[in-house]
Every structure is written in structure tokens, then in C-alpha cells.
């Protein structure tokens, strides 16, 4: 069988892979993308939907800003509505953790240098504007220029837009081996199909490690499943997505109201994943803990019915930063994975940045914090 050829071969059809495919085509590169299942069904399709910049390390803000610029034009770019609502993102601190409020203040001052305007709110002002807020909330940091979107629609929308420009996407096509063969990469799928390209981009999310190691590099990638649920719908009233800023995992709940009216709730403790089966199972104890915690943030939730719970498989690295950029050892090989629970917002910006890097050989975004060889150095 002769192998299909393109300029760039992408393994993994999450938001990273699909956005990269779209922007590579915009830059005139032909792309073939392989996806085990259906595009955007894993982390990119199961996530909470936060399109937030605040709370990220400052050095990540240029990438997050690049991304938000795309989010704002997503409807025009993609030719479809992905339910992006720019209604703000708010982090709150509880009364028994005043230090969290102090950290938010400091962060707001620093973030101002990175085009992120945060408004600090407390007392009557906070409660007048957000009367549903629980009495335990002490202070809030509001970013009016952030928002949230529908993850179920986003990955497939990027994929469709890429296909419209000429990208070839193979769903139900799992890459099983990827090798460097002369000047080309040679990838074989589970069903025997073969693909060749001079450039290979690995955007395989929680499954990227096998490919990285296949090329002789190391990465301590793990995965976990953030726990999600959704309530029955109620009249649309709450604009921003809201999350608790706390060092305690179990307290770290968040929620947003979608246009349809349901509250989507996430956070607190996470589920074990089974990436080899592409499955994650929701643990009832995580749900119960989450439902208890969310009532502290928004007491009215206690009267609402939870109609569904779910989780997704997200990749994590020890320093909570992704791997993004060229391989340290193999020419033509690029990575974008390991987004540590915060990649949905970054997705469009990552796609544009990777396309720029691959097509032009450089990008203004500083990728040094995301180098793959930071782990090689650590293990020596």
C-alpha cells in the first residue's frame, strides 16, 4: 500500500491538533491529521469550557492573549457558533483564606503589564453585583475580558474549518507507530494505513508519551480526570464563570451558566483515568464532595437537580506546564501536549503558534518554559 503524503502529519485530533491543522492550511501547508476516535471527543470535548486567562503564570499570558484574540473572532473564523460568551471570569477567595485574596491582589498588579485587566471586588460592591454569592466569599478578582464556550462544539468546528481549507482528517484512525525514515516521518495506523510527511506534530494529549519515548526523549506525563456535572436549566442570569482560589484541591470548585440556562460545575477532587481504554469513570465520592463544596460558593445550587456527571482524560506534567515546541533531538518533530487542565483556552493560540513555528521556523511567543528537554535535564 502506498503511503498518503502531506507537508505535515498530525497525531491527535483534539483542539490542539485541529486548530494546528486549520492554521497550517492558512499558511499554505498541506496537513493530514489522524484521530483514534472522533475529533474533539477526549479532553477537548469533555472539558469545563473555561476561556480564562487569569490565574495562569504570567509568562503564559502572551500565549493566552494570542488565543483570546482568536476566540473573539471564532464565529467568523469557523463559520459557526461555538457558544463563546465573553461574560468574564471571576476568582474568589474565602474569608478563612485571606492570604488567597492577597495573592489575587498581587497577581492583578502584575497581570496588568500583560494586558490583563482585573477588577478587585469585595464587600457590598461584590454582593450587589453578584447577589447569589455565598456568605463565605471574602473577595473576588474579575476579568471582564475572559469568558466561556461550548467544548462539545469547538474541536469539531476547528476540524470542519480545517477540512474546508483542504486538510485531510482521518477519524477512527489510531496511529500505532511513528518513525523517522530518512528525511520523512512514517506513521502506521492500527488498520494498516500508512502516512508520510517531512514534519510530524504530536498533539496526542494524554497519549503523547509513547510517541515521545519512541523518538528517544523522556517526559513524565500522567493523566487525571477532572470531575464535571451539570444542573437542570434555569433562567440565564449569571454572566461570568466563577472559581474558588484556594490551595486545597477539594475546595477548588467552579461553575458557569450556559446560554441554555444550565449550570456546569467542575473542580474539587479528580477521577482515575484509563487512557489505554480511552475511558475515565466518574467516582461518586468525587461528585458528592463537589456538590457539597459548590454550595459554599453558590448556596442556591442546593435546590437544583444535577442531571448528569462526566469526566475527561487530561494530561499533566510535574511543573503544571505543557510541552510545546520542537523536539530536542529529532528534526521536523514538534510537540504540543500536556496542558494540565488549562488547554481549552490556549487551544486556538497553540494552533496558531505551532503553525507559525512549523511554517516559518520561529515565533514571537517565548516557548522556553515549555521545552521538552526540561525533563531530560531534571532526570540527569
* Most distant CA pair in the chain, distance: 70
The number of C-alpha atoms within 13 Å of 148 and in the hemisphere containing its C-beta is: 25
Hey, is 225 helix, strand or coil? strand
Would you say how long the chain is, in residues?
380
Total of chain residues touching another protein, rule CB under 8 A: 38
Single out the residue of 109, 288, 318, 378 in contact with another protein (rule: CB under 8 A): 288
> Does the footprint of another protein cover residue 291 (CB under 8 A)?
yes
Q: Is the CB of 176 or the CB of 292 nearer to another protein?
A: 292
Residue ranges in 21-80 that form contacts with another protein under rule CB under 8 A: 38, 41, 45
> Does the footprint of another protein cover residue 301 (CB under 8 A)?
yes
Nearest to 77 by CA among 26, 136, 145: 26
CB atoms within 10 A of CB 319: 15
Residues lying near ligand FAD in the complex (CB under 6 A) are found at 11-17, 34-37, 41-44, 46-50, 174-175, 203-207, 226, 228, 266, 311-312, 314, 337, 339, 341-345
The number of C-alpha atoms within 13 Å of 185 and in the hemisphere containing its C-beta is: 27
Q: Is the CB of 125 or the CB of 288 nearer to ligand FAD?
A: 288
Nearest to 208 by CA among 116, 315, 310, 114: 315
- Decide: 197 and 357 in contact? Cβ < 8 Å: no
Which residues, other chains included, contact 143 with Cβ-Cβ below 8 Å and sequence gap of 6+? 52, 53, 54, 88, 89, 90, 116, 117, 118, 119
Q: How far is the CB of 337 from ligand FAD (least distance, A)?
A: 5
Residue 301 binding target from ligand FAD, another protein, none, CB below 5 to 8 Å by type:
another protein
Alpha carbon distance 211, 237 (integer Å): 45
Q: How far is the CB of 233 from another protein (least distance, A)?
A: 8
Cα-to-chain-centroid distance, residue 138: 29
Q: At what angle do helices 343-360 and 151-165 cross, to 10 degrees?
A: 20
Q: Is the CB of 255 or the CB of 335 nearer to another protein?
A: 255
Q: Is the CB of 84 or the CB of 94 nearer to another protein?
A: 94
Residue ranges in 69-108 that form contacts with another protein under rule CB under 8 A: 94-96
Question: Distances from the Cα of 114 to the Cαs of 51, 53, 117, 346, 348, in angstroms?
Answer: 17, 10, 9, 16, 19
- Decide: 297 and 140 in contact? Cβ < 8 Å: no
Q: Is the CB of 172 or the CB of 176 nearer to another protein?
A: 172
Residue 11 binding target from another protein, ligand FAD, none, CB below 5 to 8 Å by type:
ligand FAD
Q: Is the CB of 114 or the CB of 278 nearer to ligand FAD?
A: 278
> Does the footprint of another protein cover residue 191 (CB under 8 A)?
no
Q: Is the CB of 36 or the CB of 363 nearer to another protein?
A: 36
Q: How far is the CB of 365 from another protein (least distance, A)?
A: 31
Provide the mask over 107-146, with x wherever binding to another protein is found by CB under 8 A and - wherever it is not.
-----------------------------x----------
Which residues would be at the binding site for another protein (CB under 8 A)?
A: 38, 41, 45, 94-96, 136, 152-153, 156, 160, 231-232, 260, 281-285, 287-289, 291-296, 301-310
Amino acid at each position: 500500500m502506498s503511503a498518503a503524503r502531506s507537508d505535515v502529519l498530525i497525531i491527535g485530533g483534539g483542539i490542539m491538533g485541529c486548530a494546528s491543522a486549520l492554521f497550517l492550511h492558512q499558511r499554505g501547508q498541506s496537513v493530514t491529521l489522524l484521530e483514534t476516535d472522533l475529533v474533539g471527543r477526549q479532553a477537548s470535548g469533555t472539558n469545563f469550557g473555561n476561556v480564562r486567562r487569569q490565574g495562569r503564570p504570567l509568562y503564559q499570558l502572551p500565549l493566552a492573549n494570542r488565543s483570546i484574540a482568536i476566540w473573539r473572532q471564532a464565529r467568523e473564523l469557523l463559520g459557526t457558533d461555538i457558544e463563546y460568551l465573553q461574560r468574564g471570569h471571576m476568582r474568589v477567595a474565602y474569608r478563612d483564606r485571606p492570604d488567597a485574596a492577597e495573592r489575587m491582589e498581587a497577581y492583578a498588579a502584575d497581570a496588568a503589564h500583560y494586558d490583563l485587566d482585573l477588577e478587585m471586588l469585595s464587600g457590598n460592591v461584590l454582593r450587589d453585583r453578584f447577589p447569589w454569592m455565598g456568605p463565605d466569599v471574602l473577595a473576588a478578582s474579575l476579568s471582564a475580558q475572559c469568558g466561556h464556550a461550548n467544548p462539545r462544539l469547538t474541536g469539531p468546528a476547528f476540524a470542519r474549518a480545517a477540512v474546508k481549507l483542504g486538510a485531510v482528517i482521518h477519524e477512527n484512525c489510531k496511529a500505532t507507530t511513528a518513525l523517522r525514515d530518512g528525511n520523512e516521518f512514517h506513521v502506521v495506523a492500527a488498520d494498516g494505513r500508512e502516512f508520510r510527511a517531512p514534519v510530524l506534530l504530536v498533539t496526542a494529549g494524554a497519549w503523547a508519551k509513547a510517541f515521545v519515548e519512541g523518538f528517544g526523549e523522556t517526559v513524565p506525563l500522567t493523566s487525571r480526570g477532572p470531575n464535571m456535572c451539570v444542573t437542570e436549566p434555569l433562567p440565564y442570569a449569571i454572566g461570568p464563570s466563577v472559581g474558588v482560589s484556594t490551595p486545597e484541591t477539594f475546595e477548588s470548585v467552579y461553575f458557569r451558566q450556559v446560554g441554555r440556562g444550565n449550570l456546569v460545575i467542575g473542580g474539587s477532587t479528580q477521577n482515575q483515568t484509563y487512557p489505554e481504554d480511552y475511558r475515565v469513570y466518574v467516582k461518586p465520592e468525587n461528585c458528592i464532595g463537589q456538590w457539597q463544596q459548590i454550595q459554599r460558593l453558590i448556596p442556591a445550587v442546593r435546590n437544583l437537580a444535577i442531571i448528569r456527571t462526566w469526566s475527561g482524560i487530561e494530561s499533566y506534567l510535574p511543573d503544571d506546564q505543557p510541552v510545546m515546541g520542537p523536539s530536542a533531538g529529532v528534526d521536523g518533530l514538534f510537540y504540543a501536549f500536556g496542558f494540565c487542565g488549562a488547554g481549552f483556552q490556549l487551544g486556538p493560540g497553540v494552533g496558531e503558534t505551532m503553525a507559525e513555528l512549523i511554517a516559518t521556523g520561529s515565533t514571537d511567543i517565548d516557548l522556553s518554559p515549555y521545552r521538552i528537554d526540561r525533563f531530560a535535564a531534571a532526570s540527569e
